[in-house]
Amino acid sequence: MGEIAKRNSTSDRMSKPAKLAELATSLERKAALIHQEARVDMKISEILAEAEVEQDRLERE
C-alpha cells in the first residue's frame, strides 16, 4: 500500500476514542463468540457423557 493510501486509511483518520470504541466492540464480539463456543463445548460434553452412560447400560443388558 502506498504512503498516501496509508495516511488516508479510515483507521488513521479516526480519533483515539473512536479507535478505542471500535476495539472495545471487536473485543465484545470475540468474547461473545468465545462464550458461545464454551457453551457448545459444555453441551457436547454433556451429550457424550449421556451416550457413555447409555452405552454402559446397553452393554450390561
H runs (alpha helix) in the chain: 3-7, 10-13, 16-60
Distance CA 33, CA 36 (A): 5
Per residue in 1-49, pLDDT (tens digit) is 455 555 555 556 789 999 999 999 999 999 999 999 999 999 999 999 9
When comparing pLDDT for 45 and 61, which is higher?
Answer: 45
User: Rounded to an integer, what distance in angstroms lies between the CA atom of residue 21 and that of residue 32?
Assistant: 16
The pLDDT, as a whole number, for residue 14 is 81
**pLDDT at position 30:** 98
* Residue 61 in grid coordinates: 443388558
